[in-house]
């Protein structure tokens, strides 16, 4: 798999508590936007990220963002 699967053309907006999260970078996870290990045969790896305080985030679902795992609006060009 050379390109990540676009899951949606809008971000996933969530309220996250402090902690460690693993963002799905391949688009194959059944628990999107979080990794469930489905990437193992795809050549992709999940992206670990930390949230230090409770906040609302917009996680990329199109997999085209330059600011992984956060949405940068790249979906608007799809």
- Please check whether residue 41 lies inside any domain of the structure: yes
Tokens of 27: 């688009």
pLDDT of residue 41: 81
In a domain, 5, yes or no: no
Q: Establish if 66 belongs to a structural domain.
A: yes
Q: Residue 61 domain-assigned?
A: yes
Q: What is the pLDDT of residue 2?
A: 81
pLDDT of 11 strictly over 90? yes
Q: What is the mean pLDDT of residues 12-20?
A: 98
The answer to whether position 53 is within a domain reads yes
**Residue labelled with tokens 């790249």:** 74
The pLDDT value recorded for residue 42 is 85
CA-closest candidate to residue 42, choices 23, 53, 55, 26:
26
Between CA 16 and CA 19 the distance in angstroms is 8
Average pLDDT, the chain: 95
Residue 49's domain comprises 12-77
Q: How many domains does the chain have?
A: 1
Share of the chain above pLDDT 70, in %: 99
Lowest mean pLDDT among 8-17, 38-47, 48-57, 58-67: 38-47
């Amino acid at each position: 798999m050379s390109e990540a699967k676009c899951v949606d053309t809008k971000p996933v907006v969530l309220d996250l508590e402090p902690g460690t999260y693993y963002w799905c970078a391949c688009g194959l996870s059944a628990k999107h936007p979080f990794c469930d290990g489905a990437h193992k045969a795809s050549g992709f790896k999940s992206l670990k990220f930390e949230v230090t305080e409770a906040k609302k985030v917009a996680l990329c679902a199109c997999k085209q963002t330059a600011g992984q795992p956060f949405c940068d609006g790249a979906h608007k060009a799809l």
